[in-house]
Amino acid sequence: MSQETFAFTSSALRSLRLQRELLELEERRRALARESATRRFLPPRASAQLAPAPARRPQRCRDPAVHNALYAGDLLRVKSIFKDENAANLIMETVSEELAWSPELGLWVLSPRKKHTSPLRIAASRGYRDCARHLIMQGAEVDAVVGGQAALHDSVAGLRLDCARLLLAFGADPNVLSEEGLAPLHLCTDPESLPCAELLLAHGARVNLSTRDRHLTALHVAARRGLEAHVELYLRHGAEPARRSREGETALNAACAGAERPEDAERYYRVAERLLAAGADPRAAGRKDHTPLHNACGNGQTRLARLLLRHGAAATAPNCAGYTPLDCALHAVDEYRHQRPERTIALLLDHGAGPVNPKVGDAGARLPPGFWGGGRRQCHSVPPVTRVSRQMLKFCCRCPRALEVVLNASDRVPPAEAWAEAVPPELWQEHEVFYESALRMAGQPRRLQHLARCALRRHLGARCHAAIPKLALPPALRHYLQLPLEGLIH
């Protein structure tokens, strides 16, 4: 045998064949990536000149055998079915019968509903990386939006990191929009989606890209769901906390509105901390002019409310209906009565919130703007203190601790007709000593010690939380000025 030749064994042939396939795959990947980059970064006219002629209209496929091969991830059958570009870009169509109201017939009828997807979407959503690779090699369009989404949307939503990495390596646009106007980064809504978010950002995803309709950024989405790691990631990549949605909400508004469950309080607190450290405005009014403090108080989040107040949130800011954060806290008393709502109320009172107590019968007295839903109107038909108290006590009466704080914030106890009948008998029996004392003091003058407390707190106003602990008074008196709970109304 000549020295320039060697024996072609079966293993050597397999190795050469595999090497050739890998080279072809890499060439295809680079060509797709170059084409995607050209379309993304060149001016519209230039990219239009370089764009290939439009492909013919893709065909639809309803064959169950084809669908089953894709959904099962059967690579051998997928290779035998999808052998060219036309097959790789088929539209997979399913038809289901759904009930629909027919105005002409006046009854519900079965109506066929078509759903569309693509072979690449199916493979990417289920994590079939090899099937997805084969489809791309046969000419499947990586950015094709079929049935409302592209394959990259499905891989991110399904937490299929390998498929997302494959699509991006073959030139998928990380900012491709679905028919609803969502980019893949907007679909990172789960704590486990952090690697997907990191991958998208590494491949050029725009962190401040907004959804088409609601103008939500990825930071809005992460804050609303309390995803602390996502928020940190987006802020490191230049996310802007001041960005507003179509309704005017910032990410901080979204975080405080999303903190609804007690078990999630800690992670939403940490999200708010990071947003405030990044420059978020605690006074930013969002939907219906709700500030973050309105949302935190409405969700019974005392610690979150304290954080916002420490960063300059306004305890007396009204929303579009005239409600203040104290109103929101009082509305939430019954729902969050097991979360110590009296702490939120006392916190707001220490920061300047609270009822104005004009003299009974002073029909011309003016309430603060927005107090108890009255907007900027003036109450003339009923004495203001009566109207305020009825609303206040109706929300508080089922929580004795909250009711005690509210009553002690006033220099008189209003009549009890509005709230006494609303207290359940079993609750009254359990806290009979407190309720009887409140009933007994209704309409009666308070003792001089309490009136002095009210006068001093009114003088200090929003400085109560900082000034009272520094007063040169005996500890017992300082404690009394902070509206401690005694279980009685004196």
pLDDT tens digits, 24-63: 666 666 666 666 555 555 554 444 444 454 555 668 898 9
Nearest Cα to Cα of residue 419 among 440, 441, 390: 390
Tell me which of 1.25.40.20, 1.10.260.40, 3.20.20.70, 1.10.3720.10 is the CATH number of domain 20-34+58-99+109-180.
Answer: 1.25.40.20
- Closest alpha carbon to 434 in 412, 405, 410: 405
User: Which residue spans of the chain are classified as CATH 1.25.40.20?
Assistant: 20-34+58-99+109-180
Q: What integer pLDDT is reported at residue 317 of this predicted model?
A: 93
Q: Would the pLDDT of 191 be above 60?
A: yes
Give the residue carrying structure tokens 């990259």: 152
Give the whole-angstrom CA distance, residue 319 versus residue 373: 9
The whole-angstrom separation of Cα 275 and Cα 264 is 17
Nearest C-alpha neighbor of 172 from the set 127, 146, 141, 199? 141
Q: Residues of the chain with pLDDT > 70: what percent?
A: 79
In the prediction, which pLDDT does 94 show? 86
Alpha carbons 371 and 376: distance in angstroms, whole number: 8
Tally DSSP H helices, then E strands, for the chain: 26, 3
Amino acid at 338: H
**pLDDT the model gives residue 417:** 78
Helix (H) / strand (E) element for 123: namely helix 119-126
In this predicted model, which residue has the larger pLDDT, 104 or 249?
A: 249
In the numeric block, which tokens belong to residue 171?
């030139």
Torsion over CA: 146, 148, 153, 157 (sign): negative
Mean pLDDT to the nearest integer, 3-30: 62
Q: What is the pLDDT of residue 404?
A: 93
How far is Cα of residue 400 from the mean position of the Cα atoms in its chain? 33
pLDDT of 269 reads 97
Give the three-state DSSP class for 11: helix
- Would the pTM of this model clear 0.85, i.e. be above it? no
Residues facing 61 on adjacent strands: 92
